[in-house]
Amino acid sequence: MSSGSDDENPYYTFYKPSVAAAAVVAILFCLSALVQIWRIIVTRQWFGIVVLVAAAFEGVGLLARAYSSKHLDKQRPFEIQTLLIFLAPILFAASVYMLLGRLIRRSGHPELSFIRIKWLTPIFVVGDIFCFFVQAIGVVILLRAESKSKFDLAKGVILAGLALQLFFFAVFILVAVVFQSRFNSLIREKPVHLGVNLKIRLWNLYLCSFLITVRNIYRLVEYATGTEAYLSTVEWPTYALDVGLMLIIMIVSNFWYFPKTENVYEPPAFSTSTEYPLTEQRLLDREELARGQSHTFGCGPVQHSRL
């Protein structure tokens, strides 16, 4: 990454974007997206399309960034990469909201959520869409700003959108934690078989939520401190605190899908074939259900029963 004069490099004031970094990460998003497409087709769980759109935002944005490195005086690729890379995490957030709703339904105990399940996903997704448009408007104003007043307006709109997204995420995490706490209390009294490893998927959800929160805090600090602060004058935070975190979410989201068939064993992550032999990964027949055989599954000892 090297710097250039204002005439040669009017959009990247302090550095020249790395072509290699942008290209490599774009390829990784593409490869993960191919796995995601396969998972969606096999499981027929279409909520994953939102993840694919987010990956497309990241991939196209990164390619535009790589192109910008060779055409520093062109405004359009700079605008494309700025807009798409900035907005992609909002789409990843929407997919995380959808995941929680699906997990709560899959548990068979939607009453454990303190927000009614029929409103849970719509509330957070609508809030996410609102944040999307607020931040998109802010970025567009920023890209078109020709005066300090317009720049300050854009900065204020973007900061408001980021702060609002952080608020929604805080409430979302509270919903998830309360649900898991109530569910853990329930299964200690009345073990159930879910057909999915709920505990592992909830920790997956917490990881993704944490990464999105870190990214939002980074962007909040970046815009609050101005264009001449450290975070705006070097390139590495863009990858370490934004794009790279979204790539991790993209990869782990391939494990969000679960079988459509009820009562299918799913061993915990990193388990061995000795601990959970393949012969156990099958539909339970009526005699086994009647016997109520017990196994350790995710959150503790469970008893097989249809939810």
**All structural domains of the chain with their residue ranges:** 19-263
- pLDDT, tens digit, 9 for 90 and up, residues 75-91: 999 999 999 999 999 99
CA separation for the pair 42, 261 (Å, rounded): 12
Mean pLDDT value across residues 237-254: 97
Residue 183 near residue 104 (C-beta atoms within 8 A)? no
CA separation for the pair 81, 102 (Å, rounded): 32
CA separation for the pair 252, 212 (Å, rounded): 13
Helix boundaries (H) for the chain: 19-43, 48-70, 75-107, 117-144, 148-189, 198-225, 230-233, 236-238, 244-252, 286-291
- pLDDT, tens digit, 9 for 90 and up, residues 128-170: 999 999 999 999 999 998 888 999 999 999 999 999 999 999 9
Tokens 């990869």 correspond to: 251
Q: Tokens standing for 193?
A: 């078989």
Q: What is the pTM of this model?
A: 0.81
One CATH from 1.10.3470, 3.30.70, 3.30.390, 1.20.1070 for 19-263: 1.20.1070
Residue 68 near residue 21 (C-beta atoms within 8 A)? no
Other C-beta atoms closer than 10 Å to the C-beta of 131 total 25
pLDDT band for position 193 (cuts 50, 70, 90): low
